[in-house]
Homo-oligomer: A and B are copies of this chain.
Amino acid sequence: MALVVQKYGGTSVGSIERIRAVAERVVETRKQGNSVVVVLSAMSGETDRLINLAHQISNNPKERELDMLMATGEQVSIALLAMAIHELGHEAKSLTGHQVKIITNSDHTKAKILAIESKNILQELDGGKIIIVAGFQGIDDRGEITTLGRGGSDLSGVALAASLRADVCEIYTDVDGVFTADPNIVPEAAKISKISYDEMLELAGLGAKVLQTRSVEYAKKYDVNIHVRSSFRKEEGTLVTGEDSEMESVQVRGVTCSKNEAKITILGVPDKPGIAAGIFSIISRENIMVDMIIQNISEQGITDISFTVPKNESEKAIKVIKRISNELGIKDIISDDKIAKLSVVGLGMRSHTGIASKMFDALAKVGINILMISTSEIAISCAIEAKYSELGVRVLHETFELGK
């Protein structure tokens, strides 16, 4: 019937019992007449155990050898799942990244997938076998073992699905799908049954932890349907797919909040042409991503500029600016990492007006001060004081009537 790629994360294969449960799920899908390719992460805890061994030896192990080490984690889980499927009386075969030929560049520990050979897998599938592929790993053109970095197994799943032209890439995880807001913050949050790539990218980039940005971008590029669902339940999860007309009817798909950014304020900047450009070009030269920017109204030729950067790069950004502060005549630099970025996301914003003002009103009503604003075609974000994060999410979730 269909060609299905199923990706199971570390928790889903975290014990022998769970590996057995995955085997049953895979076999069930096979029995329904589908061709099945499974992509696995390492058993949960295993990658940490390996990294810990490495760090007992070296504070800064060579990345090539780290990859050599870490790639064993997935090799263990694929072999065990193959055995569990055999026990259920079905044919299965495990394959490492180099056996499939998942070709990546040579950027160890964060390699990019360049190509996947699908011929062998398609042949084995034709023979009726269930194919189990080690996620997270590949080889470069010289046969060196590489790994794909955080969320790499999701990416392996999506890339395999693209290469095999699979009907769907099911990503099994420990949550039920993508929700209108974090259910830990908003108990009434509803599971989203269908969401576009772009919405998912805004939500993922803004802090939803279900799917890594890279995987969604890859899926968008190659038109892969992703079905995010729970490995512990039978219910359908969330389908991440291309836009359709129905999607635009929803103004706001979800609300999210991220605490990953810090605000940097440069005080007493001479309000002359080119000053702002100078500041931001030197920051970007250090590969630091600036997100929101705000510039105060100038008084007596002097102004303040605030912007946000990823928290873990704020020190570096400050150092960079300090280097040129004399030259530019900057008075002082202060930073604030107690901020949060609150966002509403929805394709419908393109054709609906008034969403921003509704958002600002709702926040004002509960006394939340908006520090900065940024907008994209399908998202509106406000920087607020971090302590209001949960309140802000709840208020917006209610305002836009996203609950069940």
Give chain A's interface residues, CB within 8 Å of chain B.
16, 19-20, 50, 53-54, 56-58, 61-62, 64-66, 68-69, 71-72, 75-76, 78-80, 82-84, 86-87, 93-94, 96, 98-99, 143, 145
Q: Which 5 A-B pairs have the closest CB atoms?
A: A69-B79, A72-B72, A68-B79, A61-B83, A65-B82
Contact present for B71 and A58 (CB under 8 Å): no
> A54 vs B19: C-alpha distance in the bound complex, in angstroms?
11
Q: Complex Cα distance A65/B75, Å?
A: 10
How many copies of this chain are found per oligomer? 2
Q: How far is the CA of A152 from the CA of B79 in the complex (A)?
A: 21
Q: Are B83 and A75 touching (Cβ within 8 A)?
A: no
Smallest CB gap from A43: residue in B: B53
Chain B residue nearest to A62 in the complex (CB): B86
Is the CB–CB distance between A69 and B75 below 8 Å? Answer: yes
Q: How far is the CA of A264 from the CA of B10 in the complex (A)?
A: 54
Distance A69 CA – B134 CA, assembled complex (angstroms): 12
Q: For A16, what are the chain B residues with a Cβ–Cβ distance below 8 Å?
A: 53, 56-57
Known: A65-B94, A99-B143, A143-B99. A57 touches B84 (CB 8 A): yes
A76 — which chain B residues lie within 8 A by C-beta? 50, 53, 69, 72
Which of A78, A79, A93 has the most chain B CB atoms closer than 10 A to its own CB? Answer: A79
A53 to B56, CA, bound (A): 25
Known contacts: A62-B86, A72-B75. The answer to whether A80 contacts B94 by CB under 8 A is no
Known A-B contacts A62-B83, A62-B86, A83-B62; A68 and B57 likewise in contact (beta carbons under 8 Å): no
24 residue pairs of the A-B complex, CB under 8 angstroms, read: A19-B57, A20-B57, A53-B76, A53-B80, A54-B79, A54-B80, A57-B84, A58-B84, A58-B86, A58-B87, A62-B82, A62-B83, A65-B80, A68-B78, A68-B82, A68-B96, A69-B79, A69-B80, A72-B75, A75-B75, A98-B98, A98-B143, A99-B143, A99-B145
A32 vs B251: C-alpha distance in the bound complex, in angstroms?
A: 73
Nearest B residue (CB) for A70: B79
Residues of B contacting A66 in the complex (Cβ-Cβ under 8 angstroms): 79
Q: How far is the CA of A16 from the CA of B54 in the complex (A)?
A: 9
Q: A53-B80, A66-B79 are in contact. List 15 more A-B contacts (CB 8 A).
A: A16-B53, A19-B57, A57-B84, A58-B86, A62-B86, A65-B80, A65-B82, A68-B78, A69-B76, A69-B79, A71-B75, A72-B76, A75-B75, A96-B145, A99-B143
A133 to chain B, nearest CB (A): 12
